[in-house]
Chain A
Amino acid sequence: MKRIDFILLIFITIIEILVLFVAPVQTKKISLYLYAAYYVSWSMIVHAREKTLSTKIVLEYFLLAAIAVVALQVLLITSL
């Protein structure tokens, strides 16, 4: 992982956490889904650049992102 990739990841993560604490509920939900999309797509770019991209790796990122999205959905459904 290049230094700039890590700095960008930390920068976007800090912004996301700030949004989660201060934004309205709807914005929080949307920002989390956008963050999940960023996590998958940016990771793909980093792996592609490092020439380590494979189906196995893509699947790993998608599965973890899907688990997070479904966990959030369960939370939203149960919090009636």
Chain B
Amino acid sequence: MMHSFTKFLRHAFLPHQENNYRAKVLHHDSLTYIMGLLLVTALIFRTSATTSFHKVLGASLNIQTQALLADTNKERAQYGLNALTINKQLSEAAADKARDMFAHDYWNHYSPTGTSPWYFFTKHNYRYVYAGENLAKDFSDSPKVIQAWMQSTKHRENILRPEYTEIGFAVEEGMLQGKPTVLVVQLLATPDPSYVSTANSPPQPKSNVLNAYNAPSVQKTKLINTAIWGRNAMLFILAILISALAIDMYIFEKQKMYRSTGKSMYHIIFLFVVIVGIVVINTGAII
């Protein structure tokens, strides 16, 4: 058993007489099989995305509001700023904003009917001195959302504004502009102290809108995270090819043999760049 496995690895990765001095994994038929496998995978994901997007979204979604809060406060701490605390009304307002975007099908801070972001603050009985809103869509995990905001000057300024003391998040999924979308809404604010003192006296109406600490539907049940698994699978396949090419190049340079094949160095550099691309490409958008 062990012997046959070793033989298989040798045949797959080491150039020798039996595989015509070219690692089997680099033969045309093997490369065609790999491409076929990837095409089938792409087809399955595409079909799933168009026929039952909720299932795919739910499985793909790895955005947790607690992680968003932790990452936001981590960024603020690096600049010596106070940590923000979750405000339930702000989280409700954020969820309301996200639902409004799906309902009126817009990707903007202002709705087509002219509703401003500040409307949702006041609608949820939140009076502020300073307020800000960051939006993101189509990200697969929490750190990437914060990272994208921090890379944008306007959003970074919003996150790092020293006056802010409270924050609210919402992560909602739905159809936006004909496409299955995950929206992340971040609302930041400084409450108006005079209003808060009066508003705190009567009991707050109980709401079943989700906030960061009691939001079971925000953190999805992760049967399998397709985004991360898909990316890792691609990286694994490309890493195997690079390894086979590197071994192949090393052995042939050592033996000084001639053979009619492509240039392994070109292949390795090309695949390395693709790996960098897969690692750094961020498909989400922010406004």
Contact = CB atoms under 8 A, between A and B. Distances in A.
B62 to A, nearest CB: 11
A68 B140 CA distance: 21
Contact of B227 (A6, A39, A72, A79): A79
A55 to B, nearest CB: 10
B269 A74 contact: no
Interface string B59-79: 010000000000000000000
A48 interface: no
B270 A64 contact: yes
Contacts of A57: 260-262
B49 interface: yes
Say what secondary structure dominates the interface of chain A: helix
A68 B181 CA distance: 26
A75 B281 contact: yes
A80 to B, nearest CB: 5
Contacts of A66: 35
B277 A72 contact: yes
B49 A77 contact: yes
A39 B181 CA distance: 34
Given A1-B265, A39-B270, A60-B261, A67 B28 contact: no
B3 to A, nearest CB: 31
A4 to B, nearest CB: 14
Nearest to A32: B277
A78 B282 CA distance: 12
B77 to A, nearest CB: 25
8 contacts: A25-B282, A60-B261, A66-B35, A71-B234, A72-B234, A75-B283, A78-B140, A80-B227
Interface of B: 26, 28, 31-32, 34-35, 38-39, 41-42, 45-46, 49, 53, 56-57, 60, 138, 140, 180-182, 226-227, 229-231, 233-234, 237-238, 241, 260-263, 265-267, 269-271, 273-274, 276-278, 280-285
List 6 A-B pairs, minimum CB-CB distance, nearest first: A78-B230, A63-B31, A70-B38, A71-B234, A79-B283, A68-B274
